[in-house]
Amino acid sequence: MTAASPAAANEGLLRRVLLALAALSIVVTAVELATDRHWETFVQRIPWFALLVATAALLLVAVQPGRGSIRAARLLAALTAAVALIGVYKHVEANRDTGALDFRYSATWDSMSAASQWWKAASGGVGPSPVLAPLALANSAALVFAATLRHPVLGP
């Protein structure tokens, strides 16, 4: 039995740190979604499924990783990141759809250009949906993905 080299030990430690950060990110995102009661509609439940996918990816890497499970984890992480990007779009779209309900724009929203409406919706000028919040899912996915890079089971 040979002792692990210091570099390999460091890589192992950092990989565990990345996975721990991913787990923390998943938990915090779930708490944030719960406090926001983010389950009123089907679309609002999608990030919960994405969290399950991210958790599955995390477990694939953390528990007895193999070549197949690492690749599957990467695929699931990519799927989670894609859902996050769709979430950003859905938040902007929701803000735009309800822009006319804001008292500052109730009389003018429909006459504004589409570009102005999208900009207001995307920049936090109107609407209740936090535009970049879905990227918390992408953060979890990126951490899991980073933990798979140069994984020993993938070989040199």
Residue 136 touching other proteins (CB under 8 A): yes
The least CB distance from residue 109 to other proteins, in Å, is 8
Q: Which of 4, 27, 34, 101 binds other proteins (CB under 8 A)?
A: 101
**Both tokens of residue 19?**
């996975």
Residue 8 makes CB contacts below 8 A (sequence gap 6+) with 152
Region class of 78: left (phi > 0), else alpha (psi between -120 and 50), else beta: alpha
Alpha-carbon 39 to chain mean position: 17
Please give the Cα distance from 145 to 124 (Å, whole number): 30
Please give the Cα distance from 56 to 85 (Å, whole number): 19
Shorter beta-carbon distance to other proteins: residue 76 or 88: 88
Amino acid at 15: R
Q: Which of these segments, 49-57, 58-66, 74-82, 139-147, binds other proteins (CB under 8 A)?
A: 139-147
Q: Which of 5, 41, 63, 114 binds other proteins (CB under 8 A)?
A: 41
List interacting residues with other proteins (CB under 8 A): 10-11, 14-15, 17-18, 21, 25, 40-41, 97-98, 100-112, 124, 126-128, 130, 132-133, 135-136, 139, 142-143, 146, 149-150
